[in-house]
Amino acid sequence: MQGFINKLEKLLMPLANIVSSNKYLLAMRDSFSSLIPFIVGGSFFGIFNWVVFEPEGTILGELGLNLGKVFTGLEGEAYLNSGFVEVCRNLQSMCNSVVTVTFGIFSLLLVLTFGYRLAKMWKNQEPFIAAALALVAYLLITPASVTGEAGDVIGAFSTSYFGSSAVLTAIIATTFVVWFYCKLTKNEKIRIKMPESVPPAVANSFAVLIPVIIVLFVVTLFQSILTWIGEPALNDILYAALQAPLMGFSQGLGFSLIYQFLVWFFWWFGIHGHNVTAVIQNLVYMPAQLANQAGEASYIFSNGFFEAGLCHVIALPIAIFIASKRDDWRAISKVGLPAMIFNVQEPLAFGVPIVLNPLLLIPYVLNPLINTVIGMLFIEIGLMPVFRYVVPWTMPAFFGGMIGTGSIMGGVYQLVCIAINVAIFIPFVLAGNAQYKNEQEQLGTVSE
């Protein structure tokens, strides 16, 4: 077994290091990370909109906790026509404005953060100008007209080009624009040099003036050619050709299981599995999450869905407390459990250890696959809604699932997973007892 592990390590470690240290992929990952405050912030208002303030929802409605009746003493039509419900509707409208904006312009925000980080990566002296240029270029390739309900054409942008369905376009367009701009700024022949008496901010702006003009000309020429030949917008082409099929493919159970296997198999090797597979997460599962939150779709497999499955690691210390006779495992579990409550697994991963421990490989990788199947079944048979809201990955089990789905059944799903995961871990924990006893016997220190 150890020889097999060594061979796998030699095969996978170089690949994982290449992926996790690739500057372009790191810039992409960090760009999405920079948007977490907007995603979680928008989700916060979304939770209040669809869960807390919804008069007929999980908290206030008759099919939920029915606190609306507790607060008003009314039910039925009298309750729905009450001033309390009117206030709730007004609060919902206020929260919905934040949700609409934060998720409606996600791709625009991505253009800014990705453009800035790419410019920094390519050591451009004016990364903010690069990011702003990427934003302007993105707007240039976006149709500036919308067909109204009466069939009239209105001069405006459709937010469908700025939301989750435009992530791939934002990445591709930003990459080209910033790369082209950085190349041009290194050409001294097109740099406008100002006298030393000119303030640096003004001098730097004039230095990149010609590169900016060239980039804008190329981008607008490209969009004009698409218009002249009757082709749709670039985002429509890319979405139909790439992102939509990729999103559909990623919703298959097989793809999702492979994704989860890779994540946790790399973690077992001591490599940050989520960093290695961040491209998959950012291109398909984060847009799926955003589409769910915006009410545009009901994707089963999303970023929130998989983060809810993080609860499988907490099953290990529980199984250890139930079945382990190893003092070392029990001591480490006592220390690691408080962190694991908030889904921080490193104390257990490197303390027990889970990493490169052949005994725990099967349950550690198998449990998230089982959780994926259970979650899919819960959603497909109607026991649980899709994960609609983005919650911090550190949210404890039960609360994360409940808030993420807007239903108490999301929390029940996590508890069911933990119970099954504990049952799967226990035989391997018992095997750990026997292993530990054999080790102690070999050392001559076994105590009866």
Q: What's the rounded mean pLDDT across residues 351-376?
A: 89
DSSP 133-177: HHHHHHHHTS---EE-TTS-EES---GGGTSGGGHHHHHHHHHHH
Residues in the chain: 448
What's at 63, amino acid-wise?
L
Q: Which of 61-65, 114-118, 193-197 has the lowest mean pLDDT?
A: 61-65
Q: Using CA atoms, how far apart are residues 265 and 267, in angstroms rounded to an integer?
A: 5
Residue 438: which H helix or E strand, with range? helix 408-443
Q: Using CA atoms, how far apart are residues 203 and 192, in angstroms rounded to an integer?
A: 8
Would you kindly state where each structural domain of the chain is located, as residue ranges? 2-20+251-443, 36-102, 105-243
Does residue 40 surpass a pLDDT of 60? yes
Note whether 153 and 218 are within 8 A (CB): no
Closest CA relative to residue 353, chosen from 316, 405, 304, 397: 316
pLDDT band at 337 (very low <50, low <70, confident <90, very high): confident
Question: Given this model, what pLDDT does residue 448 score?
Answer: 44
Residues 159-185: b if buried by 16+ CB within 10 A, e if exposed: bbbbbbbbbbbbbebbbbbbebbbebb
H helix runs in 269-357, sequence order: 273-276, 278-280, 286-293, 303-308, 315-323, 327-341, 346-351
pLDDT band at 197 (very low <50, low <70, confident <90, very high): confident
Q: Using CA atoms, how far apart are residues 100 and 159, in angstroms rounded to an integer?
A: 9
Structure tokens at 61: 């409605």
Note whether 116 and 128 are within 8 A (CB): yes
Question: Given this model, what pLDDT does residue 34 score?
Answer: 87
Burial of 380 (0-12, 13-18, 19+ CB in 10 A): exposed
Angle between helices 200-207 and 209-228 (to 10 degrees): 40
Q: Which of 202-206, 354-358, 416-420 has the lowest mean pLDDT?
A: 354-358
pLDDT band at 7 (very low <50, low <70, confident <90, very high): low
Q: What's the rounded mean pLDDT across residues 373-377?
A: 95
Question: Given this model, what pLDDT does residue 447 score?
Answer: 46
Q: Which of 358-367, 370-379, 411-420 has the lowest mean pLDDT?
A: 358-367
Higher pLDDT, 322 or 270: 322
H helix runs in 73-126, sequence order: 76-80, 83-104, 106-121
What's at 365, amino acid-wise?
V
Region of 192 please: left (phi>0), alpha (psi -120 to 50) or beta: beta
Does residue 16 surpass a pLDDT of 70? no
Question: Given this model, what pLDDT does residue 152 score?
Answer: 66
User: What is the DSSP code (8-state) at residue 191?
Assistant: P
Q: What's the rounded mean pLDDT across residues 42-56?
A: 82
Count other C-beta atoms under 10 Å from residue 15's C-beta.
12
pLDDT band at 366 (very low <50, low <70, confident <90, very high): very high
Query: For 202-243, how does the pLDDT look when each residue is reduced to its tens digit (9 = 90+)?
Result: 888 888 999 999 999 999 999 999 888 887 788 888 777 776
| Cβ partners under 8 Å of residue 123, min gap 6 | none
pLDDT band at 420 (very low <50, low <70, confident <90, very high): very high
Q: Using CA atoms, how far apart are residues 434 and 325, in angstroms rounded to an integer?
A: 9
Note whether 389 and 373 are within 8 A (CB): no
What's at 200, amino acid-wise?
P
Question: Given this model, what pLDDT does residue 9 score?
Answer: 56
Q: Using CA atoms, how far apart are residues 286 and 282, in angstroms rounded to an integer?
A: 5
Q: Using CA atoms, how far apart are residues 20 and 200, in angstroms rounded to an integer?
A: 37
Q: Which of 58-62, 107-111, 319-323 has the lowest mean pLDDT?
A: 58-62
Q: Using CA atoms, how far apart are residues 70 and 84, in angstroms rounded to an integer?
A: 12
Question: Given this model, what pLDDT does residue 445 score?
Answer: 52
Q: Coil, strand or helix: which one is 56?
A: coil
Q: Using CA atoms, how far apart are residues 133 and 163, in angstroms rounded to an integer?
A: 19
Does residue 10 surpass a pLDDT of 80? no
Chain centroid offset of residue 442 CA: 48
